[in-house]
């Protein structure tokens, strides 16, 4: 018995998981006897960071069809991977994905290291991904804490310290509960519990497999947990992009590797600044704009039609003419996709 935990926490949780596990394309169903594929588990975990299961499913299917093994991904063209990632956001993850695949092939003979420490030494793999891949792919008794698990444990153990300070307490509370027999299923069971029962709003405590010893159950303020840090006001930035069109094609550039949306195809344009840039010299009628939220700032990006050839647009030195009718295949990140859609709608 750990504290006021009643009986076998892991046993109750895993019993429920055996009946109710979500079917996910990267997951081996409990008790199916299947062997987890570390490549698929790693790929899914990287894609799922800051993104929902629903949003990831299509990307995962396309990636694994096109690059079925880590060696295939390692050999892929950078531009193809960046384009296939377009729309998933947090583009540094795509660059790290490639760097990691190449390190696995170059330094580990195409096999992922099977320990948390070995995984953490790979590019782009942080504490969370190392723990989850070690647990799910290799059955290591790692303490896996994602946002769903954080919520379940903060509620179950009634941890009222605000995040991110609460993270240490959550890990400490979770560590002794981890199943030594089925650590991978245990982690996935907690993820599922958070996603389907101990949800952000309206947790279904009455059908929760670990309700018997949940300290938060029945409290009117349950949705407050885990306690979030106070919200900081985000800065607002502005940018101007250029729509340069010629014979049914538009001029696209590749953003510099370092920085926001690094390495992605984009419309040419200037820096994003705190001040709204002047419009002089631009055809006012050609302007559309979108608002887009990044993690650390909000951006208003305007798009102005420009007649000048690309050489004079500054950022356009390295670019390409792209057929407007085939812009879906350009792999534009969501920000530029929204802008392009608005421009095309306006012109329709």
Catalytic (active-site) positions: 45
Distance in Å, CB of 15 to ligand SF4, minimum:
14
Distance in Å, CB of 155 to ligand SF4, minimum:
4
Could you say which residues in the range 37-56 bind ligand SF4, by CB under 6 A? none
**Minimum CB distance to ligand SF4 smaller for 156 or for 255:** 156
User: Exactly one of 177, 208, 244, 264 binds ligand SF4 (CB under 6 A); which one?
Assistant: 208
Number of C-alpha atoms within 13 angstroms, CB side, residue 8?
11
Distance in Å, CB of 146 to ligand SF4, minimum:
15
- Residue 97 binding ligand SF4, by CB under 6 A: no
Which of 135-143, 183-191, 198-206, 246-254 is the region at the interface with ligand SF4 (rule: CB under 6 A)? 198-206
For residue 80, the tally of other CB atoms under 10 A from its CB is 12
**Minimum CB distance to ligand SF4 smaller for 156 or for 265:** 156
Radius of gyration for the alpha carbons in the chain, expressed in angstroms and rounded: 24
d(CA 90, CA 50): 8
- Residue 197 binding ligand SF4, by CB under 6 A: yes
Could you say which residues in the range 236-295 bind ligand SF4, by CB under 6 A? none
* Number of residues in contact with ligand SF4 under rule CB under 6 A: 14
d(CA 306, CA 288): 13
User: Exactly one of 92, 205, 227, 344 binds ligand SF4 (CB under 6 A); which one?
Assistant: 205
List the end-to-end C-alpha distance of the chain, in Å, as a whole number. 67
- Residue 105 binding ligand SF4, by CB under 6 A: no
The answer to whether the beta carbons of residues 161 and 227 sit under 8 Å apart is yes
- Residue 157 binding ligand SF4, by CB under 6 A: no
- Residue 145 binding ligand SF4, by CB under 6 A: no
**Minimum CB distance to ligand SF4 smaller for 53 or for 205:** 205
User: Exactly one of 155, 237, 238, 338 binds ligand SF4 (CB under 6 A); which one?
Assistant: 155
Main-chain dihedrals φ then ψ at residue 47, nearest 5 degrees: -65, -35
Sequence-separated (6 or more) residues with CB below 8 Å from residue 328: none
- Residue 301 binding ligand SF4, by CB under 6 A: no
The answer to whether the beta carbons of residues 245 and 324 sit under 8 Å apart is yes
Bridge-based pairing state of the strands 319-323 and 265-266: unpaired
- 3-class DSSP state of 274: coil
Distance in Å, CB of 225 to ligand SF4, minimum:
8
Write b or e for each residue in 50-70: b if 16 or more Cβ atoms lie within 10 A of its Cβ, otherwise e. Answer: ebebeebeebbeebbeebeeb
CA nearest to 203, candidates 190, 213, 216, 212 = 216
- Residue 5 binding ligand SF4, by CB under 6 A: no
User: Exactly one of 12, 40, 95, 156 binds ligand SF4 (CB under 6 A); which one?
Assistant: 156
Do you find a cis peptide bond into 135, omega within 30 degrees of 0? Answer: no
Q: Which helix (H) or strand (E) holds 38?
A: helix 38-48
**Minimum CB distance to ligand SF4 smaller for 217 or for 342:** 217
Binding site for ligand SF4 (CB under 6 A): 152, 155-156, 197-198, 203, 205, 208, 210-211, 214, 216-217, 222
């Amino acid at each position: 018995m750990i504290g006021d935990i009643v009986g076998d926490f892991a046993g109750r949780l895993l019993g429920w998981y055996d009946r109710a596990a979500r079917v996910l394309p990267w997951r081996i169903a409990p008790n199916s006897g299947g062997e987890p594929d570390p490549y698929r588990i790693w790929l899914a975990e990287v894609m799922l960071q800051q993104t929902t299961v629903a949003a990831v499913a299509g990307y995962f299917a396309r990636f694994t069809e096109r690059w079925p093994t880590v060696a295939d991904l390692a050999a892929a063209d950078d531009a193809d991977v960046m384009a296939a990632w377009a729309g998933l956001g947090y583009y540094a993850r795509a660059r790290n994905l490639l760097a990691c695949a190449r390190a696995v092939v170059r330094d580990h003979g195409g096999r992922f290291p099977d320990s948390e420490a070995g995984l953490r030494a790979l590019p782009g793999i942080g504490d969370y991904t190392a723990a989850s891949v070690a647990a799910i792919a290799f059955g290591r008794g790692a303490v896996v804490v994602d946002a769903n698990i954080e919520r379940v444990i903060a509620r179950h153990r009634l941890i009222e310290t605000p995040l991110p300070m609460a993270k240490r307490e959550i890990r400490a509370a979770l560590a002794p509960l981890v199943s030594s027999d089925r650590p991978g299923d245990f982690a996935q069971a907690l993820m599922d519990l958070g996603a389907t029962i101990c949800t952000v709003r309206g947790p279904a405590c009455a059908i929760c497999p670990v309700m018997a010893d949940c300290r938060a159950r029945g409290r009117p303020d349950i949705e407050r947990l885990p306690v979030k840090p106070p919200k900081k006001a985000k800065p607002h930035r502005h940018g101007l992009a250029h729509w340069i069109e010629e014979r049914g094609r538009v001029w696209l550039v590749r953003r510099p590797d370092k920085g926001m949306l690094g390495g992605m195809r984009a419309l040419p344009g200037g820096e994003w600044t705190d001040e709204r840039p002047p419009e002089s010299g631009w055809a006012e009628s050609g302007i559309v704009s979108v608002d887009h939220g990044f993690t650390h700032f909000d951006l208003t990006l305007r798009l102005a039609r420009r007649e000048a050839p690309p050489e004079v647009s500054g950022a356009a030195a390295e670019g390409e003419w792209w057929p407007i009718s085939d812009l879906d295949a350009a792999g534009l990140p969501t920000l530029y996709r929204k802008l392009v859609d608005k421009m095309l709608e306006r012109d329709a």
